[in-house]
Chains A and B, each alone.
Chain A
């Protein structure tokens, strides 16, 4: 077993609320400086900067997982993590199909920039990525599971866009693989505020929208190799694997 530092909630310049310098190259460089071993790119309702980040990380020793932060119809943010492009592409197709047919207003929400690994702009995503999809949380979790991904309830401590703010509590049949605590709460605070949610594994990531935020919070995975399957086992404390964050 080895320990891997994982920050699995990072936005790129594709997210309208993100800084424009959040391009694959800068993100990978910063991840290296912060000693991260695994990162995941999780833009709002889109995964179009994932492949460029995978290419930017080639030869660096950093593992990049693809993902998305999907907005459910209840306006709950759900992290969907995948390995490989095929499942991610299918997830993205489904999300696109269920976004409202509206265009992003760049002046108001910000630009949604698609870039390559050389910091070159390849285009702009015109969809209203900040909008809620028509998919409810249950449906999203079902699809993630059927595609072999991992689902994480985003920043459950936040007052907006979290499963707790939107739905008050986590219904029993909504089986997230893990819950994410934001960098705003310490482990001790989380233990007292969310004692009733100990039935779920907990993780904590940066939710970085700015370069300096990458790795400000990470979770240590004790696993054999950096694969999603290993992480899945770590989340359930199987075979000597586990997840830890302070």
Chain B
């Protein structure tokens, strides 16, 4: 499934203008500890988190993730968006909780 298709089906608001929305989402990793994401996320996965710090972009680039979904109506910091635009990492906002968002995505990817 492509990033833009996933964003549509999960009613995510895409917060960045650049970034490859045509990329394949190969899976998903959910964590709010960036050290854990650095250790365990796999290339191509979309990452669901509550963290809004600019470092999330650097971690997504490092792991070559397909995008970041920020849950619970949280808004990324201005610097985070700037970095995401510069690095081409799509940031998507979910109005739902991490549980709801992750559950819906699981159904899309695995069922």
Contacts and interface: CB of A to CB of B under 8 A. Distances in A.
A74 B53 contact: yes
A168 B58 contact: yes
Nearest to B77: A136
Interface in B24-42: 32-38
A169 interface: yes
A171 B54 contact: yes
A168 B54 contact: no
B98 interface: no
B77 A169 contact: no
A168 B33 CA distance: 7
B96 interface: no
Given A74-B51, A74-B53, A136-B53, A168 B37 contact: yes
A159 B36 CA distance: 9
Interface string A112-156: 000000000000000000000000110000000000000000000
A167 interface: yes
Contacts, number: 35
Nearest to A165: B35
Q: Is the interface of A mostly helix, strand, loop or mixed?
A: loop
A245 B76 CA distance: 39
B32 to A, nearest CB: 8
A20 interface: no
B77 A168 contact: no
A166 B54 contact: no
A167 B55 contact: yes
A171 B34 CA distance: 12
Nearest to B34: A168
A75 B35 CA distance: 13
A132 to B, nearest CB: 11
A160 to B, nearest CB: 8
B59 interface: yes
B77 A166 contact: no
Contacts of B36: 165
Interface in B70-106: 77
Which among B38, B53, B59 has the greatest number of chain A C-beta atoms within 10 A?
B53
Which among A74, A136, A165, A168 has the greatest number of chain B C-beta atoms within 10 A?
A168
Interface in B5-43: 32-38
A228 interface: no
A185 interface: no
Contacts of A159: 35
Interface of A: 74-75, 136-137, 159, 164-169, 171
Interchain residue pairs A-B with the least CB separation, the first 5: A168-B34, A167-B55, A165-B35, A168-B38, A168-B35
6 contacts: A166-B33, A167-B51, A168-B55, A168-B58, A169-B58, A171-B53
Interface of B: 32-38, 51, 53-55, 58-59, 77
Given A165-B33, A168-B35, A169-B34, 4 more contacts: A75-B32, A136-B53, A136-B77, A165-B34
